[in-house]
Amino acid sequence: MIRQVMLNSAEDLRQFMNLAMQTSEDIGVHTADGKIADAKSVLGLMDLDFSKPVKVVTEDTRFFKQIGKWLVDNNAQ
């Protein structure tokens, strides 16, 4: 499943990564300019541009419920 999220602060990013680390599923974060990072990687996430929404890719439906406050759209793409 793919959803878009908007992380507006360093605290949002920290919380997002902590939630990602609690799941055993893979979670990818994709930017509009084609960069991809593992949501569990501090260095990977720090390299991305969060000034625009990013796509989150995972099969973990529970994770999407946990990050609901950052969802830009609630529809699978």
pLDDT score for 75:
54
CATH number, domain at 37? 3.30.1340.10
% of the chain at pLDDT higher than 70: 95
Which domain range does residue 35 map to? 2-70
Full-model pTM = 0.88
| Helix, strand and coil percent figures for the chain, each rounded to 5 | 35, 20, 45
Cα–Cα dist 35/30, whole Å: 6
Cα–Cα dist 75/23, whole Å: 21
Question: How does pLDDT run across 38-48, given as a tens digit for each residue?
Answer: 999 999 999 99
| Structural domains of the chain, count | 1
Place of tokens 């699978």: 76
Asked if the structure places residue 76 within a domain, the reply is: no
Confidence tier at 73 by pLDDT (50, 70, 90): confident
Confidence tier at 76 by pLDDT (50, 70, 90): very low
Cα–Cα dist 51/58, whole Å: 22
